[in-house]
Structure 1
Amino acid sequence: MSEQRPDNSILVKRLLLTVAGMFAFGFALVPLYDVFCEVTGFNGRTSNEAAVYQQVEVDESRTVTVQFLTRNAKGIPWKFEPSIKQVKIHPGEVKVVNFLAGNPTSSNMIAQAIPSVAPAEASLYLNKVECFCFNQQPLAAGAETEMPMQFYLDPDIPDHITTFTLSYTLYDMTANTSAEAIAQLLKTE
């Protein structure tokens, strides 16, 4: 007498569809998270487009301290630091802070700075009029440069935000750029 085994083909098909669905969802998470962060300001991401400054009334009754941090991603040997560690600013007031960069290598390089704000809520009220982070930054071998960041805080910034940190991480983009493009960028500098 032979024992009959149940047909598990339907269960196997459902499990394979579940695995495929989970795999697809994993790929969709990154763009969904980016959209979520852009809409809500979550994770301290700032806009990568220049804000247009329109004359607003400066709220001189309040002062917000903005702290600046810089770091280099793994593999980029540049010197990268803010010219000042922090600045006090009235909401609505425009400030310019310079960041210093130096390429100590014997090769021309291209870098890109990615900003982040903590606490994340403050990123909704930070408006960068001009920023080196909007574009890739070419730097010749052994050269140094000052990179400006002009910004203002929206006067609607909540009262409980009295201090926040704007940090930049510098990434090496040289491998993603052709030698001709690097030469061209250095000519326009």
Structure 2
Amino acid sequence: MNAMSTPRLVIRLLAVVVVMFCFGVFVLPPFYDAMCRAFGINGKTAGVYEGTQQSDIGREVRVQFLATNAAGMVWEFAPKADELRVHPGQSSDMLFVAYNPTDKPMTAQAIPSVSPSKAAAFFHKTECFCFTQQVLQPGERIEMPVRFIVDRDLPKDVRHLTLSYTLFDITARKPPVAQAAP
């Protein structure tokens, strides 16, 4: 290799690195999200459901609820109950409780996940606190509802689902407005 080709090689390698970086940042995430939506991969739920179904009263599915905080989130966050037994097709409700123990207003966003992942496409939320960001004032406690339907077409071998939420502190990205004192 001569001295003249070394700068060209370095430029080409840097170009490859830039192209790979751009692919990873700009192309891969939308592709991944589309695949998750299409196949229910990674526990992403089927989203808002606006249809109705008749309940399959001959079948029962156990839905377990989990709540965790992301790193740095200081709120107390938990479901009112650990699990419900539901009939596919019936509308069901669960309340999650959040408490801000700090002395400042905070904004949070909950991200849901359903497992097993093959069941995620059959779990429909009709109302969920995860659809909006939650703002809590210092010392405030709220109950946040989730209303859902386990689809009648859920595969028969799935008898247990887990709906989990991870709560993220997004105060730095979306600062809350403090309430005025009365």
TM-score (norm 1): 0.85
Question: What is the number of equivalent residue pairs in this alignment?
Answer: 178
Counterpart amino acid of residue 142 in structure 1: G
1:79-112 Cα shifts (integer Å, max 9, x gaps): 1000000111110011110001111111111111
Name 1:39's counterpart in structure 2.
38
Change (3 A) 1:144 1:5: closer
Counterpart amino acid of residue 130 in structure 2: C
Report % sequence identity.
43
Q: Residue 7 of structure 1: CA displacement?
A: 5.9
Residue 52 (str. 1) matches residue 54 (str. 2): no
Gaps of 5+ in 2: none
Q: Residue 37 of structure 1: CA displacement?
A: 0.9
Q: Residue 75 of structure 1: CA displacement?
A: 1.3
**For 2:111, what is the secondary structure of its paired residue?**
strand
Contact 1:112 1:173 in 2 (8 A): yes
RMSD: 2.1
Change (3 A) 1:107 1:20: closer
Q: Distance in 2 between matches of 1:174 and 1:17?
A: 37
Q: Residue 14 of structure 1: CA displacement?
A: 4.7
Contact 2:109 2:133 in 1 (8 A): yes
Gaps of 5+ in 1: none
Bigger Cα Rg? 1
Contact 2:106 2:175 in 1 (8 A): no
TM-score (norm 2): 0.88
Counterpart amino acid of residue 44 in structure 1: G
Residue 94 (str. 1) matches residue 103 (str. 2): no
Contact 2:107 2:175 in 1 (8 A): no
Residue 63 (str. 1) matches residue 54 (str. 2): no
Change (3 A) 1:50 1:5: closer
Change (3 A) 1:85 1:18: same
